[in-house]
Amino acid sequence: MKLTGTAAVRYFARPDASRAGLLIFGADGMRVALRRQEVIAAMIGPEGEAEMRLARIPAGDLRRDPAALQDAVKAQGFFPGPRVAFLEDASDGLAPVVQATMADWRPGDAAIVVTAGNLTAKSALRKIFEDHANAYAIGIYDDPPSREEIEETLRKSGLGEIDREAMTDLLALAKDLDPGDFRQTVEKIALYKYGDATALTPADVDACAPATIEAEVDDLLSIVAESRTGELGPMMRRLEGQGVNPVTLCIATLRHFRALHAASADPGGPAAGIARMRPPIFGPRRDRMLRQAQNWGMERLEQALSTIVETDLTLRSTSRAPAMAVMERALIRLAMMNRR
């Protein structure tokens, strides 16, 4: 039988160990591996592998010894409890061996869990599991995780109290990150909140989310966009001391002001524009950028973009002017442009 959507997610969390088998396939090996780990752990428990109730069979080993899967399914262990025979990275070439083992499966035998790469609808492996009355086939695609999947991941990490805005940030983050990276981020958040009974907030998510730009450059861009000219010189000296390239700084400035312009131009308003941005923007930084977009307005942002593009051309030209001084002068002009 074939499982999709919510039914598949629920089965991964609470599988039926009495089923003969499960095929998990998909183009993204990380997504398939994470689901395989989840379902096997739910089948045999945390001590299952230590109690030798899990038999791992790489596809290459099964090609050399076609009886290995049948032997693993029929073998009796020393410890009581459900058993799993796990066939890794299978292909259609192993379909006859898998089909013979499935046909000979009886209650009390080990459940057969098979992982594979991307399989077409005509795949022999898929047909075995989809046509079997006591087995499931689940495809793992590149769709972002659903809210239910994210809530399950948070629950397993011990995060129960989630602020509504923080959940919105996590949904956006899940769409932008690979599944493995997202799970690591959730684990980082769980450690960050360890011993803290208060609800998870957008600021907590922002503190743990992978950085998309160096913190010092981000601070500099906020100084410029908020016209805090008195702080600009010391921050430039710090960045110059760290070896930041003026062209790199100009590119970051252009990206920041383009984002503000896109937010300001959004038909739903700056808040909707900020929410659409990828990679997503979180917590205090999102609030700052929203205020900046609202304060600048479309006309001044277009003037700012013209100034930045002109500076970029100057930096890339044969001009003998000191590059960092040119960049600093341009940033001062930007900061002064929006002073009220």
| Chain segment 114-135, per-residue pLDDT in tens | 999 989 989 999 999 999 999 9
- In the chain, what are the domains? 5-140 (3.40.50.300), 147-208 (no CATH), 213-338 (1.20.272.10)
Q: Per mean pLDDT, which range of 8-12, 136-140, 241-245 is the poorest?
A: 241-245
Q: Per mean pLDDT, which range of 59-63, 189-193, 194-198, 211-215 is the poorest?
A: 211-215
| Chain segment 160-203, per-residue pLDDT in tens | 788 888 888 888 777 777 777 787 888 888 888 888 888 888 88
Distance (Å, whole) CA 259 – CA 256:
5
Q: Is there a contact between 310 and 200 (Cβ–Cβ < 8 Å)? A: no
Nearest CA-CA partner of 327 in 237, 258, 259: 237
Distance (Å, whole) CA 149 – CA 34:
12
| Chain segment 82-107, per-residue pLDDT in tens | 999 999 999 999 999 999 999 999 99
Average pLDDT over every residue of 1-12 = 84
One-letter-per-residue 3-state SS of the chain: CEECHHHHHHHHHCCCCCCCEEEEECCCHHHHHHHHHHHHHHHHCCCCCCCCCEEEEEHHHHHHCCCHHHHHHHCCCCCCCCCEEEEEEECHHHHHHHHHHHHCCCCCCCEEEEEECCCCCCCHHHHHHHHCCCEEEEECCCCCCCHHHHHHHHHHCCCCCECHHHHHHHHHHHHHCCHHHHHHHHHHHHHHCCCCCCCECHHHHHHHCCCCCCHHHHHHHHHHHCCCHHHHHHHHHHHHHCCCCHHHHHHHHHHHHHHHHHHHHCCCCHHHHHHHCCCCCCHHHHHHHHHHHHHHHHHHHHHHHHHHHHHHHHHHCCCCCCHHHHHHHHHHHHHHHCCC
340 — pLDDT class (breaks 50, 70, 90): low
pLDDT at 213: 40
